[in-house]
Amino acid sequence: MKCNQHADRDTQLLVEDAQQKAEEYNMEARRCEGILKRMNLSVGSLSQAGVISLRVIANLALILEVRDTSDTSFLLAMRHLEDEIYKVEEARRKEEKNLEMLMDKIKMAMVKQSHLKKAMDVLEQKAACQQPETEKRTKDIHFIRSKAKEYKDKIHQMQTTLQTLKVDPSIYHNSLVKTSKELEKMQEELSPLQAKLQTYSSLPPDLSSIKVKIEELKVKLADLGNEFNKRIDLMHM
């Protein structure tokens, strides 16, 4: 509604301006007519060239939208028209410059598009060549994932079974490896003790201190042997 009201006011102003110009033209026409009457001339008495000149002046006044047909009004109107022409020329030059810039950008974009198309063609060719290998790797990945899931399910099932049977954790692989290392260490400790025992056994039997030492070694050797046997039995369970 407000836009229509503004448009109506603008239209009314244009109408009033046109009416004012029409009145001014009528006044100028009556003034010219009065001059012609005082000179005993009428429009009908003008020559053809005069009528044509009068029409040209009238049409030019209408085109230039001057208030009267005085030289000043025509000169001012022509000056204003020249200014408008200059502005139009300036705008045209700017548009031409912008158009040239756009054309350069379009050419660059077309070159980039051509390069990208070539790169895309090369990639598509490589993809076509690598398609069988890619499919094979995809199948291998699916197979590996399937087997991994299967093994994981089996491990979970075995762990559940072990928990149900209440299996001693000492027979697990990690425990057996640890026990084996301990046995190797005990064997390393037994070897020098056995050699030392044999040395003491070769001494004369009447030495009481040596006998006590031998007995201590025998007890220690027996303890180590029992521990060794227990570990071996545990590994065989």
Confidence band of 43 (pLDDT split at 50, 70, 90) = low
Q: What is the reported pTM?
A: 0.31
pLDDT tens digit sequence for 194-234: 676 676 666 555 556 666 777 777 777 777 767 766 666 65
Q: Is the model more confident about 58 or about 237?
A: 58
Nearest to 63 by CA among 93, 84, 94: 84
Query: Could you tell me how many helices (H) and strands (E) the chain has, helices first?
Result: 5, 0
Give me the pLDDT at residue 200, please: 60
Q: Is the pLDDT of residue 165 over 60?
A: yes
In this prediction, residues 164-173 reach a mean pLDDT of 66
* Residue in the block written with tokens 């040395």: 199
In this prediction, residues 14-21 reach a mean pLDDT of 84
In this prediction, residues 71-77 reach a mean pLDDT of 79
Q: Is the pLDDT of residue 193 over 60?
A: yes
Give me the pLDDT at residue 107, please: 92
Confidence band of 171 (pLDDT split at 50, 70, 90) = low
d(CA 150, CA 78): 96
Give me the pLDDT at residue 101, please: 92
Structure letter (DSSP) for residue 169 = G
d(CA 40, CA 174): 138
